[in-house]
Chain A
């Protein structure tokens, strides 16, 4: 009988997990977007990502440091961005972008940014995560990204 009880307990546990998960998802809904302190490196990264995803390349370009801007003028940036970006691809429902807490070191910092992609194909779900660490510098009281990026990918300007 203990074997029977154990088997029934397993089945009951699975059903309970199903009910619990559906309940939590319906009640909780989607996670709210993270909000970061104004003027923080994380907020600067978030602003850049929002601008990039919306296709506002000039706004995205302003997130870079003076050094990066000098190497890639404002008119050159959108040209390359057009080739690489699909507008709204970060907010199409298959991706989430997580900005991890910054590591500060004086006037510089690093901010890890993780893109989590969920690919559903038939009955198959694959989820994978890619992390890029953004180097940041503080210029005139504001945090700027000290590496040319296309979205979350490192990019190196043509000489």
Chain B
């Protein structure tokens, strides 16, 4: 009953907040326009009063209805009794606040980007000759109203946190907001770096010609605006998170133990490493194209300098994010009091790096193998031009080398860990998930490419298809099959070794000699000393009794013996 009431109150508060905020935004933009923010028009005018009427209607309806519902919400948290505590700790309340924070932040950021872009266009004299531009009064109104709504709800959240510990959904939703906001602003920033760098390179390549270069005139200020706004928001949320992690109280403890935080850091490491390999590969591609004599028509405006430098600039923020995330992951895992957290952090780092490296390396290697096979079996993939093969080589070779190098370095660490701690590593859920993911992907690619090969082979045999085009298709598919099957086979063998290791865990004595332990886990408390229990070993027809007895004896803990009543004791 309370849940339904809560859902109603927060849903109505949310809907009315949208109505109220829309009206306030219009109101403020009318005020700013009337005060002459956009200047005096040369022609036209007259929509102010109509807009004001609409704004008044929205505020007139939205304000009382929102105020009543929010007053009821507030009243439910007062009193300090169990009901008030339940309201404060409600996941519905946390979800509502988090959604409001996210939506208002998104609108604020968009409007701020418009304002900053307009300022930069004026300051840098980069106005496009023709195009749509922002509405300064509307953008400033959006920033102020959404900023006020964000601040109000952040304050509501702060009051809830100061009242005492929270758990479950009451912390998960705001945490989700925090990490999603950081991820989105980071992606926006890196996209802006790419847009700005490419537009600047285009401008430089064109000789810095001034004039109606609308693309550069729009892209450069836009990218700088996104970089400024998204960068500020990312830094603000990241600094807040780092302070939260360092807090000694329940909030810091909750954040440090959070799986969502670990997942966020792992995503940053994976995405950052992926962008780094991709960017380095693109940079090396330019050099290879020149070395292979296939640079004509393949390089972007600006030539080899642009082809090698721009990708390095673009990957820089991702590399920075990945390095910082890795540092945080390992540091926090190493400081965690819970046993095994340090090892788990190291495992995550090693496996995500090996997965990313393998992804790039295996895919590129498969394509390179396909190119080689295409040349061997006489395919016509490159029949139209002589530069195609060189272009593909230059595209895939750097990724193959970089990807496999990253994988090899990470996998060496994984293997070393496995040798040093066989039981712990073989039992690790992280290791198992990574291995099975690779095994699954390898099998899927193998099956898919094998099916395609059979399809083409049958088609050729039946006279449906034929010719050099088919040979090229088969070459690509065979390249994928060989690499995918090898990856699947290798990782399948590793999985099998782990299964065996879990069934027969190994421990080392003080002298370092491996001693087999029983496959059952040794109980934490010692078994009762002494005693005998007569048993009867029964076997169905066809079962070897002696073998069954031997297996039972092998499973006994030290100090326990099975005595065959018909024979002398064997242990």
Contact = CB atoms under 8 A, between A and B. Distances in A.
A127 B22 CA distance: 13
Nearest to A30: B45
Interface string B40-53: 11111111111110
B327 interface: no
Interface stretch (B57-65, B394-402, B430-438): B57-65
Contacts of B24: 14, 17
Nearest to B159: A3
B56 interface: yes
B278 interface: no
Given A46-B42, A96-B44, A116-B38, A133 B70 contact: no
Nearest to A18: B59
Given A33-B42, A96-B45, A129 B135 contact: yes
A-B complex: 4 closest residue pairs judged by Cβ atoms: A34-B40, A93-B46, A96-B41, A97-B43
Contact of B45 (A7, A17, A31, A36): A31
Contacts of B152: 10
| Size class of the contact patch on chain A | 35 or more
Interface in A90-128: 90-100, 103, 112-114, 116, 118, 120, 123, 125, 127-128
Interface in A44-64: 45-46, 49-50, 53
Given A25-B30, A94-B47, A125-B51, A7 B74 contact: yes
A133 B269 CA distance: 46
Interface of B: 20, 24, 26-31, 33-36, 38-52, 54-59, 63, 67, 70-71, 74, 125, 127-135, 138, 152, 155, 159, 212
Nearest to A11: B67
B4 to A, nearest CB: 24
Contacts of B155: 6
B41 A133 contact: no
Nearest to A127: B135
Contact of B44 (A17, A22, A97, A125): A97
A133 B130 contact: yes
A96 B549 CA distance: 97
A30 B27 contact: no
Given A112-B127, A131-B127, A120 B28 contact: no
Interface in A20-39: 20-22, 24-25, 28, 30-34, 36
A22 B52 contact: yes
A15 B562 CA distance: 89
A99 B42 contact: yes
Contacts of A46: 42-43
18 contacts: A3-B74, A4-B74, A6-B155, A7-B74, A14-B59, A21-B30, A31-B34, A32-B40, A46-B43, A91-B45, A93-B44, A93-B45, A97-B41, A118-B47, A120-B54, A127-B138, A133-B127, A133-B128
A148 to B, nearest CB: 14
Contact of A18 (B35, B56, B132): B56
B212 to A, nearest CB: 7
A100 B127 CA distance: 12
A103 B135 contact: no
A82 interface: no
Given A130-B131, A133-B129, A33 B40 contact: yes
Contacts of A7: 67, 70-71, 74
A90 B52 contact: no
A88 to B, nearest CB: 10
A143 to B, nearest CB: 15
A96 B28 contact: no
B63 to A, nearest CB: 6
A80 interface: no
A99 B41 CA distance: 7
A131 B132 contact: yes
Nearest to B35: A24
A132 interface: yes
A39 to B, nearest CB: 16
Nearest to A35: B40
A156 interface: no
A132 B130 contact: yes
Contacts of B51: 118, 120, 125
B237 to A, nearest CB: 24
Contacts of A120: 47, 50-51, 54
Contacts of A31: 33-34, 36, 40-41, 45
